[in-house]
Structure formats: structure tokens, C-alpha cells
Structure 1
Amino acid sequence: MKFEILPVTPFMQNCTLLACEETRRAAVVDPGGDLERILEKIEANRLKIEKILVTHGHIDHAGGVAELARRLGVPIEGPQIEDKFWIDSLPSQSEMFGFPPAESFAPDRWLEQGDTVSFGNIVLNVYHCPGHTPGHVIFFHPNSHLALVGDVLFQGSIGRTDFPRGDYDALICSIRERLLPLGDEVRFIPGHGPMSTFGEERRLNPFLRENS
């Protein structure tokens, strides 16, 4: 599986293109905005997008989902249904944060712990990781030891929990019980900032050390 990270929106959110090298079929993860840039990259790489994957319902991750799904004619999968209130509020979120107008949407498939999603010959495992938002999910590709964790975990930090229905204890539990057991060697793409590994964060992340 190949991937390319495209920071989008004024929040520099890591939208990611995931592609099956054998079939050139692909998925877009968290297209929060800057859709023309995303579409140009899809065309430049000659990818056939099969679906849009969403980790959670915040504007910088989900603001462009409805429009991109319509333009590409593809389904939307994720997040978990507890984030419905965030997705329903996308129009007001866009006003609050000064983003271009955003549409709410109903995913073609809400995701749950233990689900899988696929495109081309690629299968990703789904983990429900609440805390930053109640319906946050992450995607894991075991064959390449790669995880897309949205705003659950960052290099040296963790997701905020001061938004409505955020839960610090739940977030730490999600990291410790669902992310770190995947293995120290796993690289992860966070919602913002540089990639890291679960091993590095286990050793160096102050939020995880403090809760050892």
C-alpha cells in the first residue's frame, strides 16, 4: 500500500491518499478541505477512488467530505455513530472557525470496533478510539504496519479533550488498550504534524509517561 499525506485547511490537517499498488484503486482519508488540491493529486497519480474514510466529525477532518463524495460519486465510511452530532454541526463549525461553508452528511456506513474497510486489494482494520470525540475511529493496515490515527495521538502529544463529549480518561485508555498493543514498530499518520511510531510515543510522549 502506498500513501501520500496532503496537509489541508488552515489547520494543516493531514488528509491522506491510500492506494493499492496492484490495482491503482484508492481511498481518501479525512478530506477536510482544499478539494481542488486533493483532486489534482488523485489525477496526477492516476488513482481510482473507491471511497472516503472519516476518522471523526471535526471540521478540519470532515468539512470537504460531502462535496468530494458527490464529485467523485463514491461512498463515505466512518466514523462511529457517536460522532453524528459533530457531523450534523459541520455547517455551524465552518462558521465558528472561519472555514468555507461545509455540508453535513450521512455516511453510507457507520463503523464499529472490529470492522474492516477495503479498497482494491487492501484491507484496513477499524478500531473505535473515543476520547477526542466519542465516535473517533482509526484505521490500521497490518501488512505495512501503518495506522491512521486522526486526532487520537500525535508525535509528543495527544488529542484535545476539551471539546463537547471529549474524555481524557477514555482517550488515554484508547491509546493504551487499542493503539499501543498493535506494536512498537507501527508507524502512524496523525491528524496533524509529523509521523511517529507507537514505540517512540510509548517511550517519549509525556502524556503516556505520566499515566504509566
Structure 2
Amino acid sequence: MNIIQLPLGPLETNCYVLANDLKEVLIFDPGEEAFEIFDVIEENQYKPLAILLTHAHFDHIGALDEVRDRYNIPVYLHENEKDFLADSTKNGSALFLRREVFAREADHLISKEGKMEIGNFTLSVFETPGHSPGSVSYYVKDAKSVFSGDALFCQGIGRTDLPGGDHDTLIKSIKSKLFSLPENTRVYSGHGPETSIQYEKKHNPFL
């Protein structure tokens, strides 16, 4: 599998394009600058299947409708944040931007952890709240990778001072869910460089 990291927008929020050998792709967190995502998809002749949101803060959803409309693909989001897409206070744009960010409702709401199959992809969904109430992480065993959103960063963790955030909940999520993954699992975070479970267990000062 091939993973392309695209830091997008003023906060350099990482959007990821995960491609398999059939050129099918999943798109994680299309935060802004839709044209950057289009370029990757079309230059490689990829076939988008779905958009997976780790959570629904404004910097992760800014290009959501543009991308889904161009490829006519569904959006997955945890049910605890089903109202965030249409609420600029909940998604944070009303608090941090001079403009409000909105998107249409998700096509599929995630209600529990477990396996998810999309095309030829098999993922495991982990509920990892704390940064936000509906934060999830997507583990792709075949790629030895987890897309952690803003739960776990390289030597950092997500902020917990936004609506619905809770520090103790986030620490529990990381230790009980993400740290249960194999140590060689690569961690693709919502911001910053990739890391690994092994490295974060040893070097993350918050954990």
C-alpha cells in the first residue's frame, strides 16, 4: 500500500491518501486546498472509494464537500460528532476563524468499534475520544499503520481545551487503544511527522 501525506491549510492539517495495488484509495481528513488532493488522485489515476474523518474539527473538514462531490463518494464520521459538520461553534471555526466552516452531514455514522470493509480495504476502528468526543483512529493492519487524527502526535498529544475535550479521557484512549497496537505500527497524525507506537511509548513526554 502507498500512503501520501498532504499538509493542507494554514494549520498544515494532514490529509492522507491511502492507495492499494488496485489504485483504490481512501481519503482521510480533507482539511482544505481540495485542488492538492485532486492533483494526487488524478495524476496517479486513483479511484476514490470513501472519505474517513478522524473527527470533525474545522481544519479537518474544510474541503470535505468539494472532494466528496467531485468523486461522488461517501463520508464516514463517528455519531458523537454528527452535528459538528453543520455547527461552526462545535467544529471550532466560529471560535478560531474569521469565517465559518460547514459541511453536509456524513453518509455513514460510526456507532461502535470494530472492523470496517470498504472496497478491498479492511480497517479496524478504535474510539479514541479526549481531543473531541467522537475522535476515532483507523488501524490498517495490512499497511501496519494507524491514522490517529489529533489524538496522538510525534512526542505530543491533542489539545483538550476545546468543547467536548477531556485530558484524562485522551490519555486513557491512547494507552488503552493505540498503545495496544503492535509496536512497529506507524502512526499518521493529524499534524506533524509520522511516528511509531514504539517510539511514542519510549519518548512521548505526556505518556
TM-score range for the pair, normalised by the shorter chain length: over 0.9
Question: 2:27: which partner in 1?
Answer: 28
TM-score normalised to structure 1 length? 0.91
Question: Could you tell me whether the CA contact under 8 Å between 1:20 and 1:120 is conserved in 2?
Answer: no
Name the residue aligned to 1:81: 79
C-alpha displacement at 1:168, in angstroms?
0.5
1:136 and 2:135 aligned: yes
Point out where structure 1 has 5 or more consecutive residues left out of the alignment.
Answer: none
Q: What is the CA–CA distance in structure 1 between the aligned matches of 2:71 and 2:168, rounded to whole Å?
A: 38
How far did 1:81 drift?
1.2
Percent sequence identity is 34
Partner of 1:204: 203
Larger proportion of helix: 1
Kept in 1, the 8 Å contact 2:183–2:197? The answer is yes
1:69 equivalent in structure 2: 68
Displacement after TM superposition at 1:31 (Å)? 0.1
Q: Confirm or deny: 8 A CA contact 1:69 1:76 kept in the other structure.
A: yes
Q: Which stretch of structure 1 is more off in the superposition, 111-120 or 182-191?
A: 111-120
1:14-25 to 2 correspondences below 5 Å: 14-21=14-21, 23-25=22-24
What CA distance in whole angstroms lies between the structure 2 residues aligned with 1:101 and 1:72? 24
Does 2:49 correspond to 1:44?
A: no
Aligned residues: 206
Amino acid at match of 1:19: A
- Residue 163 (structure 1) aligns with: 162
Across the aligned residues of Structure 1 and Structure 2, the Cα RMSD in angstroms comes to 1.7
| Alpha-carbon distance between aligned partners in 1 of 2:68 and 2:184, rounded to the nearest angstrom | 33
Q: Which moved more, 1:10-19 or 1:113-122?
A: 113-122
**Structure 1 Cα separation of the partners of residues 161 and 177 of structure 2:** 21
In structure 1, what residue type is equivalent to 2:203?
L
Amino acid paired to 1:45: N
CA shift for structure 1 position 199: 0.9
Mapped partners of 2:161, 2:83: distance in 1? 16
